[in-house]
Chains A and B, each alone.
Chain A
């Protein structure tokens, strides 16, 4: 068999129980059908995790992978995707983060890592040019993700970008359901508790050296040409100037009711616009001693480091918080003191908690406290009022250690609401898969709600802003998904056609910010790297294939159509704002059925139909799914 061009050609399998490392050779068929990253992870999950394996079973697999564009000159190609059966949904998780890890992993010779088994003691994995080693991590237990990252790099005398470290924090060690790994302190594949899965295997961290192996492209000149075009197209300064926080500027979101506020009891803030502006990067970068912190090959420059120059946390070293961190620890908990939201978002990364699930869990607790559903006695004496960020800081430590009331919120918003009881389930924001949506204003864009609700990945399956559907054969207008939309028909149409894009992009090993989600160009890059004749339309085929296989895996895990539904707070008409009176829930059955039909799934059970599975080369699923 000819060597795969543009690939390292292998995955690393780490069996912690036996302390063994083996190479898994990637063949052409696997590469072409599943590309890398998310695609490889989903295939491995389906092949290797049977129905009776719980998320914390040592037979569960934990996968992290780059993709064929990883570590190339395509901007933002340090991206990785983590795939696992996670504790939030008891189904699949596909979640990605940017940075450097993916590039370095490929430079050490691997497309991805499959972790299985359970270590006899707390350990960490070291991967270098020269091999793989399982090392004692007893000195790292209890350390937060930042301390762990620093300690491992200092053990080897590595500079900041001389090594990449993915670490779990105290929240994972205490099996908080929404605890992810955190890569190099501020890059977080955040969804579905993948860090707790790693903790259940007693693996504290994975350190990847900045290897020296390079993967030659089939046509370097063609790759240079497309990299240049992607960089030029991306050089629009949206993320450069404002990061992901642009919506905070100039009162844009606050004035239009586009922030999720106080656990979605309202869509309007009660803070003056100038205070909301202080969340935005134009303010924060000029007031908090900003220093740039770019990812691999990326000119978007949307990451920065700060030293906070004002507020209660003045002097703290932090990373620029993303939009979702700022809403989770800001408006959702009624906190309009920007520096505290920035600090708490960073604290979530240090402790190793998904800011989305954390924000909705905290919002739920505060609303319950406000409405007398829980008392001060139940909150261990904490005054859980809107915006009381000092109490929230204490509560975050309690959650990370599962102490007192923290043990309740460590279950996530939906489960915590069931534990609290009373009116709480009516307050909880989430889906019937027990996972919360991203802390964006999804309620004004029904395709976002539908995507969150039906998603098989623990988060969205489609990318919202910057992809060019017509160029890959999808008949949707550009920018369709960002406009406010309350049409059931449009939501189904959009999601049926677009909910493949995240899976394809996250299989390539690149960031959608820095590549502007330009699938036509990315397919050109894939052709240049691999030498394949890979038409742009094939990207949709790959994305759909991954989605169908994910669906099949989740059905194996017990997911049912009834779980493709939002909680009352998520789906019922909002009280105010742009979506006031818009009743998503009233259209749910119709949307779900039409979505299933559009996807080629059985409209009653949501199972991918045999002809759909055959169409996408997934015949091996049919016996289990259909007998």
Chain B
């Protein structure tokens, strides 16, 4: 009998809290087909100022926090106090990042974010072409979003010009990443937009973006399953023992070329996938970035979750199976201090369990009654069980 080793990562000390995901609102100005809100029945709303103030108070008590991400299910720029929120976090010396669809980034907000000290603004798109199959933006709206970001960048340069704009040999503006906010692009890659990937670098260049973050689609609606690019082996656990049929493959750094991509399928075979967020060619799968890096997620109601995927309850499709994820709250900032929630016995238990990752291999499986929700699994683990988490499998990633 083989011993089951859920993870070869040593489970040493409990991580410090370093990163907070905050959801200013769960409302949105768009109605994208790929969004969880299309199949969602939770009430929506805006984070109250008092709740946010409690978070700020909590952050003062926890100097280990390095970054706050303003991001959730909704569009953060809909929140009327979003600029102030950024400024308050920045005042603590904590890095700030916003993920937005860019449509509400008018000149006032742009000016506000620069003055508030926003470190990075990430534009979330799923197409670079005028007509997207997946979101509700028409061509003009995407154009508007890109223009808004370009204007933010220009404004940033303008503000910086007081100390001198850098120009290249041909007179072009050279964007300096020390000038904030940096620009990033978050792109949900699907079958419909796969062909556009080769345009992302030029888009990034035109926006002065120094980050392109790709992720896969998590289908919330049944028909969206056809759009995923990880139908075969991505998410598969590596074998307990490698063999001549399934050898461990160690790839050195290689020049990217069409010739390389022609031969990679033959080398990797159908038992592998490639990706940057997880070292999926090695045995180190089942890695939860949220827990390992010491994160929490706070939804608009102030509920504190161990990760973004458990911020809300929702249904989605995992490798063809409908799955109901129940949200996991370890406490509410309205009634509990952040530090107290972070150090609660239940949160410690969850972090310890997730780091050991003893969960059943649900993403490898055709599904059973237990796998219909995240409340228990066939190995006897109890809520929240993460064997079906596509973030932990390196399939979905956050910027």
* Residues of chain A at the chain B interface (Cβ within 8 Å): 71-73, 75, 77-78, 100, 103, 107, 159-162, 214, 220-221, 224-225, 227-229, 231-233, 235-238, 240-242, 281-282, 285-286, 290-299, 301, 304
Contact = CB atoms under 8 A, between A and B. Distances in A.
A233 B2 contact: yes
Interface in B237-260: 237, 239-240, 243, 245-246
B269 interface: yes
B231 interface: yes
B369 A71 contact: yes
Interface in B202-242: 222, 231-233, 236-237, 239-240
B361 interface: yes
Given A237-B239, A238-B245, A228 B367 contact: no
Interface in B346-368: 360-361, 364-368
Interface string B362-378: 00111111100000001
Contact of A291 (B222, B232, B269, B380): B232
A183 to B, nearest CB: 14
A100 B365 CA distance: 12
Contacts of B1: 229, 232-233
14 contacts: A161-B322, A228-B360, A233-B2, A235-B2, A235-B240, A235-B361, A241-B245, A285-B232, A290-B231, A292-B320, A293-B320, A294-B367, A297-B365, A299-B365
Contact of A241 (B4, B271, B369, B370): B271
Given A290-B232, A293-B320, A232 B365 contact: no
A240 B320 contact: no
B139 interface: no
A162 B270 CA distance: 28
A238 B246 CA distance: 9
Closest 4 CB pairs of A and B: A294-B366, A73-B378, A291-B231, A285-B270
Nearest to A220: B380
Contact of A290 (B270, B366, B379): B270
B391 interface: no
Contacts of A294: 319, 364-367
Nearest to B369: A214
A296 B371 CA distance: 10
A233 B239 CA distance: 11
B321 interface: yes
A489 B366 CA distance: 42
Contacts of A299: 361, 364-365
Nearest to A291: B231
Nearest to A221: B380
A297 B368 contact: yes
Given A232-B1, A282-B270, 17 more contacts: A73-B378, A75-B365, A78-B366, A159-B322, A161-B320, A162-B322, A227-B378, A229-B1, A232-B4, A233-B1, A237-B245, A281-B270, A290-B232, A294-B319, A296-B367, A297-B378, A299-B361
B265 interface: yes
Contacts of A286: 265-266, 269-270
A298 B365 contact: yes
Contacts of B379: 224, 227-228
B243 A237 contact: yes
Task: Tell which of A71, A238, A301 has the most Cβ of chain B within 10 Å.
Answer: A301
Interface of B: 1-2, 4, 222, 231-233, 236-237, 239-240, 243, 245-246, 265-266, 269-271, 319-322, 360-361, 364-370, 378-380
A379 to B, nearest CB: 39
A220 B237 CA distance: 25
A71 B371 CA distance: 12
Given A232-B240, A237-B239, A298-B366, A292 B361 contact: no
Contacts of B369: 71, 73, 103, 107, 214
Contacts of A235: 2, 237, 239-240, 361
A298 B362 CA distance: 9
B245 A242 contact: yes
- Pick from B222, B233, B240 the residue with the most CB of A within 10 Å: B233
Contacts of B245: 237-238, 241-242
A415 B370 CA distance: 49
B271 A237 contact: yes
Contacts of B378: 73, 224, 227-228, 297
A237 B246 CA distance: 8
Given A161-B321, A237-B239, A297 B232 contact: no
Nearest to A246: B245
A161 B317 CA distance: 11
B270 A241 contact: yes
A232 B380 CA distance: 15
Contacts of B2: 232-233, 235
A111 to B, nearest CB: 17
Nearest to B266: A286
Contacts of A214: 369
Nearest to B319: A292
A301 B236 contact: yes
B239 A236 contact: yes
Contacts of A161: 320-322, 367
A224 B269 contact: no
Contacts of B233: 292
Nearest to B3: A232
A301 B322 CA distance: 18
Nearest to A304: B232
Nearest to B368: A297
Nearest to A71: B369
A72 B370 CA distance: 9
A8 to B, nearest CB: 14
A291 B229 CA distance: 10
Contact of B4 (A73, A159, A228, A301): A228
Residue of A78, A220, A238, A297 contacting most chain B CB atoms (<10 Å): A297
B368 A241 contact: no
A229 B2 CA distance: 8
Contacts of A100: 366
A290 to B, nearest CB: 5
A281 B321 CA distance: 23
Contacts of A293: 320
A292 B231 contact: yes
A279 to B, nearest CB: 14
A241 B319 contact: no
B368 A72 contact: yes
Tell me which of A71, A214, A221, A240 has the highest count of chain B C-beta atoms within 10 A of its own C-beta: A240
A292 B319 CA distance: 8
B368 A231 contact: no
B315 to A, nearest CB: 11
A100 B367 CA distance: 10
A238 B270 CA distance: 12
B232 A292 contact: yes
A241 B246 contact: yes
Nearest to B322: A159
A214 B222 CA distance: 25
Contacts of A72: 368
A282 B233 CA distance: 12
A184 B236 CA distance: 24
Nearest to A290: B232
Nearest to A237: B246
A43 B236 CA distance: 42
A593 to B, nearest CB: 41
A159 B222 contact: yes
Contacts of A296: 366-368
A485 to B, nearest CB: 25
A222 B246 CA distance: 31
A176 B240 CA distance: 46
A140 B368 CA distance: 30
A235 B2 CA distance: 10
A616 to B, nearest CB: 32
Nearest to A72: B368
A107 B368 CA distance: 11
A4 B240 CA distance: 38
A239 to B, nearest CB: 11
Contacts of B232: 285, 290-292, 304
